[in-house]
Amino acid sequence: MKRLLILAALLLAGCAATAQQPQGQRPRPQQGQQPPQGQQQPRRPMFDPTNPNAHDPVMAKEGDTYYVFTTGNGVTVMTSKDLKTWEPAGSCIPQCPAWIQEKLPNFRGNNFWAPDIIFYQGQWHLFYAASAFGRNTSVIGHATSPTLNPQSPDYKWTDRGCMIQSVPYRDMWNAIDANIVIDENGTPWMDFGSFWNGIMMVKLKDDLSGVASPEEWRNPCRRERSYGLDDANAGDGAVEAPFVYKHGDWYYLFVSFDACCRGLQSTYNIVVGRSKSAIGPFLDMDGKDMAIGGGTCVMKGNGTDYVAVGHCAAYTIDGKDLLVTHAYQATDGASKLVVREIKWQDDWPVLEW
């Protein structure tokens, strides 16, 4: 009888703990934590062709087809003919490359983050991150393909290995969220980063195969980090997801401030600064350098449709300037693909819901 009473008490305690978890929300790890081991994964939602789920989207157009690449297993891809109706199109890297397992022995699966896509020197270059949430045990990888069209006989993603790696207590930056920009002299740079000491830039080799020698680094955007934090801690200087976009005579650095990945509690918002050089300094509308905390907010949650928005990319395609981003739906916190046309006022981007 005593054993039965103890068992009943444990079951009641378990029910009480379950009841405290909001319905429809999966608990997410805090900075520096891993998801609970053995936790049952929620059933994946059905693909909605007119309102697809997406996280960290980037976009390209080849022929008459738009391709969006997002965080997901193998880097998830979807396609559209009109930017309104989307179809799932598989993934680019179905198996984790061996070099990632060597550099990150604790990395499991092939859930790659925050891709970037660029057509350069006759082929498509895909960059992506492997990491642990809230830690700078991270690498940025590189793959290439002659075409984006899976139906083409030339379609094949070839692994090009590691671009950079961040290591706790060695680096005060995080090797995720890569973006490639070609500067005014034709030199390629990779901007990247999340938290720690903010956004970094490094000069690349002319063929994008790795970091140029001698190395040249920049720190074009950062937010104040509380003094005394452990160097392995992501910290509270919440800035990530850089994207440099050229419009007219200006280069614009878009970044995301505040918290992603928290569903309805997300506070993501998009800020910008501009420069006549692709590597900065980038100043906001008040003339404050983004390297010392500047940044003008150009898009945030509207409170009715979306609670937060961030991790954007910008393009000129078919004569239109487009911003591609993800936003957290106000009904359930789901991360959704959002594409909006960029308007301009006094050479500053204007974005509307």
**Which residues are known to be catalytic?**
56, 240
Beta bridge partners of 280: none
Closest CA to 177 of 199, 145, 205: 199
Q: What does the alpha-carbon distance between residue 288 and residue 114 come to, in Å, rounded to a whole number?
A: 28
Closest CA to 172 of 219, 102, 115: 219
Judge contact between 246 and 234, C-beta under 8 A.
no
- Length of the chain equals 353
Task: Give how far Cα 329 sits from Cα of 75, 137, 301, 315, Å.
Answer: 22, 30, 9, 24
**Pairing state between β 306-317 and 188-192:** unpaired
Q: What does the alpha-carbon distance between residue 91 and residue 325 come to, in Å, rounded to a whole number?
A: 19
* Tokens 């998830």 found at: 76
Beta bridge partners of 103: none
Peptide bond between residue 153 and the one before it cis (omega within 30 degrees of 0): no
Cα 274 to the center of its chain, rounded Å: 20
Q: What does the alpha-carbon distance between residue 199 and residue 240 come to, in Å, rounded to a whole number?
A: 7
349: its two tokens: 């981007």
Judge contact between 290 and 282, C-beta under 8 A.
yes
